[in-house]
Amino acid sequence: MGQHQHAPHHHEHNHDHAKNHSAHDHPHGPGHHHGPNNKAGQMIAFIITTGIMLLEFFGGLISSSLALVSDSGHMLSDSAALAMSLLAMWLAAKPASSNKSYGFLRLEILAALFNGVSLFVISGFINALLILKSAWGVIRWSVHILMEGTPIVIDAGKVKQTLLTIQGVRDVHDLHIWTMTSGRDSLTQKFPS
C-alpha cells in the first residue's frame, strides 16, 4: 500500500469576541448576552435582591421568625449568584492575552458551577435549620410532659376561676393540670372543707 501525503493547509479562525462577534457561528446557549443592558439589569437585580435579603434577615431576627431567616438564606444564594455572574461578566469582557488566547470567557461557566454548588450547600444548611427547629420542638414538648407541665392550651388561672363558680366551692387548693401522654390531660385539686 502506498503512503498518502497531505499538503499542509492553513485556515484562519477569528474568535475575538470583543471586536468581531459575527466572525464565528457557534451557539451561545440561553442567557448568553454581551450587551450592557444585561449587566445593568443584573446590577439592579443584585441591589434589589440584596436589600430584600437584609430586610428578611434582620426582620427575622427582630421578630424571631425562622421562616424569614431561612428565606434570607435563599436570598443570600440568589445575591451570591448575581454577584458571581456580574464578576464573571466583568472579567469575561477583558481582552485575550498571550497566555489566555480565548480570554476569560470560561469564567461565566465557572461562576455557574460555583452558583450551583453554593445553592446546594445553602439549601442543605436551611434544611438542617428546619430539621433542628422541629427536633427542638419535639424535645421541648417531651421534657414539658415529663416534668408534668401544664398543657400549653390550658390556662390554669381560668380553670381555677371556673371551678370557683361551682356552687359550694369557696376555694381551690393544690390545683395540678398536666399531660400524661399525647391527647390525655389530667387534673387534680383539693377543695377545703
Return the bridge partners of 184, or none. Answer: 181
**Does some domain include residue 108?**
yes
* 184 and 116 assigned to the same domain: no
- Distance CA(22)–CA(13), nearest Å, equals 12
Q: How many CB atoms lie within 10 A of CB 112?
A: 15
Number of compact structural domains in the chain: 2
Which whole-number Å values give the CA distances from 183 to 87, 163, 179, 186, in the listed order?
57, 22, 8, 10
Shared domain for 130 and 181, answered yes or no, is: no
Instruction: Say whether pLDDT at 38 is over 50.
Output: yes
Instruction: Look at residues 36, 47, 50, 52 and name the one whose alpha carbon lies nearest to residue 90.
Output: 36
Within this chain, do residues 81 and 136 fall inside the same structural domain, yes or no?
Answer: yes
Q: What is the pTM of this model?
A: 0.46
Regarding whether 178 and 131 lie in a shared domain, the answer is: no
pLDDT value at position 55? 95
> How many separate helices (H) and strands (E) can be counted in the chain?
4, 2
Domain carrying residue 32 = 21-142
Residue for cell digits 381560668? 158
16, part of any domain? no
Predicted confidence band at 37 (pLDDT cuts at 50, 70, 90)?
Answer: low
| Same domain flag for 48 and 131 | yes
Mean pLDDT in the chain? 79
102 shares its domain with 72: yes
> Exposed, middle or buried by CB within 10 Å (0-12, 13-18, 19+), for 81?
buried
Examine the domain organization and report whether 180 and 97 are in the same domain.
no
How does DSSP classify residue 122? H
Q: Are residues 80 and 136 in the same domain?
A: yes
pLDDT of residue 63: 92
Residues 99-150 pLDDT 10s = 887 888 788 788 888 888 887 887 788 788 888 888 998 999 899 889 988 8
Residues 37 and 86 both lie in one domain: yes
* Residue 29, all three cell numbers: 446557549
Handedness of CA 64, 68, 74, 80 (dihedral sign): negative
Predicted local distance difference test score (pLDDT) of residue 91: 84
Contact by Cβ (8 Å): 160, 177: no
Per-residue pLDDT band for 93 (boundaries 50, 70, 90) equals confident
The pLDDT value recorded for residue 46 is 92
Residue 99 and residue 40 share a domain: yes
Share of the chain above pLDDT 90, in %: 15
Is the pLDDT at 98 greater than 60, yes or no? yes
CA distances from 175 to 160, 166, 188, 191, 193 (A): 8, 15, 6, 9, 15
Report whether pLDDT(18) > 50: no
Establish if 110 belongs to a structural domain: yes
Indicate whether 69 and 120 sit together in one domain: yes
Cβ–Cβ < 8 Å for 189, 173: yes
Pair 133, 173 in one domain: no
Q: How far apart are CA 181 and CA 178, in angstroms?
A: 9
